[in-house]
Amino acid sequence: MKSIYLVSLLLLLNLAHSGQTQTFASADPDRIALYPLQNDYRNTLSLSGMWQFRKDSLEVGAKEGWQNGLKESRSIAVPGSWNEQFTDMRDYLGMVWYEKQSYVPSSWKGQRIFIRIGSANYAAKVWINGQPVGMHEGGHLPFAFEVSPYINWGAANRISIQIENHLKPSRVPTGNVQGGPFSNFPKSNYDFFPYAGLHRDVWLYSLPAVASIKDITVKPGFTGTTGSLEVAVATEGKATRGTITVTGNGKKYEAPIRIAGNAATATVSIPDVRLWSPEDPYLYQVEVTVGDNKTTLDRYTLETGVRTISTTSTQVLLNGKPVFLKGFGKHEDFPIFGRGAANPVIVKDFSLMKWAGANSFRTSHYPYDEEFMRMADREGFLVIDEIPAVGLYFHGDTTELAQRQVMVKQYINELIKRDKNHPSVVMWCVANEPFPREVSVTGGPGGREATPKSIELFQEMFSLVKQKDPTRLAVLVGVMGGPSEWVGMSDIICINRYYGWYTHAGDMNGAVKLLSMEMDGLHKKFNKPVMVSEFGADTYPGMHSDEPEMFTEEFQTNFIKAYLDVAATKDYVAGMHVWAFSDFKTGQGIIRFGGVNYKGVFTRDRKPKAAAFYLRSRWNKK
């Protein structure tokens, strides 16, 4: 399999080199398994900062040779969404070009050089020094290509990236859907702004040429007080042996490995293990070195925790003990940055979630920046890690449906590749609010059918997840009015509910009655724990009323309290995630005042509304 990939890659590169055609290799998901690392065998060079930028609305750039030098360009910050940085680009989702010049340090000579792009939304093509290198579709996940043959040593290298974010029904998330549940502009088929651009760090990195570590998968477990880490290592090149060293809690454990067929596995036992949990998010260091009889050739170090996750018919168990998920659905969203990763915002969000007493969040509605996931490990958050499958549907054009299914599987592959060693990740989420025909977000009738085709496609997704990672839970998050057969496939029944808002508007008594009845019914039917993965009310900060009234801070507090009170009466409820952590940008539409979803308990710039104080007092109670 791997050699077929290599041959086709070389073929494509050859073709490209001969100048006959601009053919681009597809990104290999195995390349994103390990975050770039600087140590004594590997190098990294961040390309984040100012880039040159040019709009290509006629899509003529490639033909006109923009990869050979961008003329009439302007400056743009990376990471960051292009929609927020200029006065003329907010709603533009067509083609653009990014360019940056960089030297590669001469000390990297003789190593293999790669480019890694943290996230390009939505489809990207990459050239180095005018040579086509590769392409990738899908936002929110990284991709990487080897660029060794194209590097100019002792001179600047031109990196050109072409990106477009056309909204299409064949893409995931879906857009431009005829008769879809959203009527907003731009026509995304989901409730957040379709930000575009280079949203995360871009890196050059190097790997040792003779042999290198390609992937490390760590499976934690424990029996009694003895922990274990089963470490699987995949290599490239000529390494024949190596060592796995686990360090933590003042101790060091080593296991030698023999590498055959570029793979090796060893299990390391940890007596008196310190388990990872929200109360004590303890991380062990796992260091892998590989080499031959004489010398070490590569080294990679990662941090992970020892913990297990499972369920009973009523509870989620972390390390065999019940845990309740208190927290939020979130977005990567901040004024001016758009969806661009911003480390101060990451740190602030964790400090506010802790302040509020939360122990969990969902990466709605797409995978988050890798620094965010590393913070979750260190800060002890239980994460529902979601692929960008929002607004999925199963009716209409069958070719488009097949294309969407290819994309969701690619996302599952890439996400699990990237995030598999995070102890914080306890569940994979394969979809948010897939829509049956004619369901409406504002509470329309909804065709409640779960067609055989939709069941079959979800089964494919769930079995792919379980095959890639049998150690975690898998869920899909159901829409109000959606068929229970879909959510019933999850390990935990996750439902988004807005009784009291989109239906029973303002009538909280009616709302909670219905909520309570529906939850009982779902638990009875599926005999699995239930979690309300979204509930919330739009709240304009600073708007008040003596008796709670929609859009006021008092109403939001009351709404959240009412839902949490219902959950507190049911022993099968395993978690409650408020929608949303903070206000966030959406497209324009009549239900989104100023193009903002105001369901945040914090404002877009992270100021608490009254509900944030309420959660703080409730969730911090022992």
Q: Cβ of residue 90: shortest distance to ligand BDP, in angstroms? A: 20
Residue 421 exposure: Cα atoms within 13 Å on the Cβ side: 25
Contact 396, 439 (CB under 8 A): no
Q: Is 496 in the site for ligand BDP (CB under 6 A)?
A: yes
Residue 534 is a binding residue for ligand BDP (CB under 6 A): yes
Query: Which of the residues 400, 433, 449, 485 is marked catalytic?
Result: 433
Q: In whole angstroms, how far apart are CA 386 and each of 361, 362, 363, 391? A: 11, 7, 6, 13
- Type of residue numbered 212: S
The nearer residue to ligand BDP, 426 or 441, going by C-beta atoms, is 441
Looking only at the bridges linking them, the beta strands covering 321-323 and 316-318 are antiparallel
Please say if 400 is a catalytic residue: no
Spot the catalytic one: 379, 534, 549, 553.
Answer: 534
Listing DSSP states for 555-598 in one string gives: HHHHHHHHHHHHHHT-TTEEEEEEE-SB-EE--BBTTBGGGEE-
433 binds ligand BDP, rule: CB under 6 A: yes
Q: Which is nearer to ligand BDP, 214 or 504 (CB)?
A: 504
b/e string for 232-266 if b means 16 or more Cβ within 10 A? ebbbbbebbebbbbbebeeeebebebebeebebeb
Kindly state the smallest distance separating residue 58's Cβ from ligand BDP, in Å. Answer: 33
The residue (of 333 and 433) whose beta carbon lies closer to ligand BDP is: 433
- Which C-beta is closer to ligand BDP: that of 55 or that of 365? 365
Q: From the CB of residue 538, how many other CB atoms can be counted at a distance below 10 Å?
A: 18
**Helical (H) or strand (E) element with 518:** helix 508-526
Q: Is 537 in the site for ligand BDP (CB under 6 A)?
A: no
Q: State yes or no: is 72 an active-site residue.
A: no
Least Å from the CB of residue 511 to ligand BDP:
15
**Closest separation in Å from C-beta 192 to ligand BDP:** 6
Binding positions for ligand BDP, 319-358, rule CB under 6 A = none
Residue (365 or 404) nearer to ligand BDP, CB: 365
Token pair listed for 491: 């390990």
- Among 84, 99, 191, 385, the residue binding ligand BDP under the rule CB under 6 A is 191
Interacting residues with ligand BDP between 13 and 72 (CB under 6 A): none
CA-wise closest residue to 418 among 456, 452, 378, 386: 386
Residue 563 Cβ vs ligand BDP, minimum distance, rounded to whole Å: 14
Can you tell me which of 289, 359, 424, 432 binds ligand BDP, judged by CB under 6 A? 432
> By Cβ distance, which residue is nearest to ligand BDP?
191
Q: Does 597 bind ligand BDP (CB under 6 A)?
A: yes
Q: What is the DSSP letter of 393?
A: B
Q: Assess whether the previous peptide bond of 79 is cis (omega < 30° from 0).
A: yes
CA triple 287-288-290, angle to 5 deg: 150
Q: How many residues bind ligand BDP (CB under 6 A)?
A: 10
Sheet holding 74-78, edge to edge: 74-78, 49-55, 96-102, 157-164, 123-128, 131-137
Q: How many residues does the chain have?
A: 622
Q: Minimum distance between the CB of residue 191 and ligand BDP, rounded to whole angstroms? A: 4
Q: State which residue, 97 or 579, has the beta carbon closest to ligand BDP.
A: 579
**Of 135, 159, 216, 441, which one interacts with ligand BDP (CB under 6 A)?**
441
**Using CB under 6 A, which residues numbered 362 to 391 contact ligand BDP?**
365
Q: Is 236 in the site for ligand BDP (CB under 6 A)?
A: no
If one counts every other C-beta atom within 10 angstroms of the C-beta of residue 467, the result is: 10
Q: Is 583 in the site for ligand BDP (CB under 6 A)?
A: no
Distance separating alpha carbons of residues 579 and 130, to the nearest angstrom: 45
Shortest approach of ligand BDP to residue 579 CB, angstroms?
A: 6
Q: Applying CB under 6 A, which residues contact ligand BDP?
A: 191, 365, 432-433, 441, 496, 534, 579, 597, 599
Could you list the active site residues?
433, 534
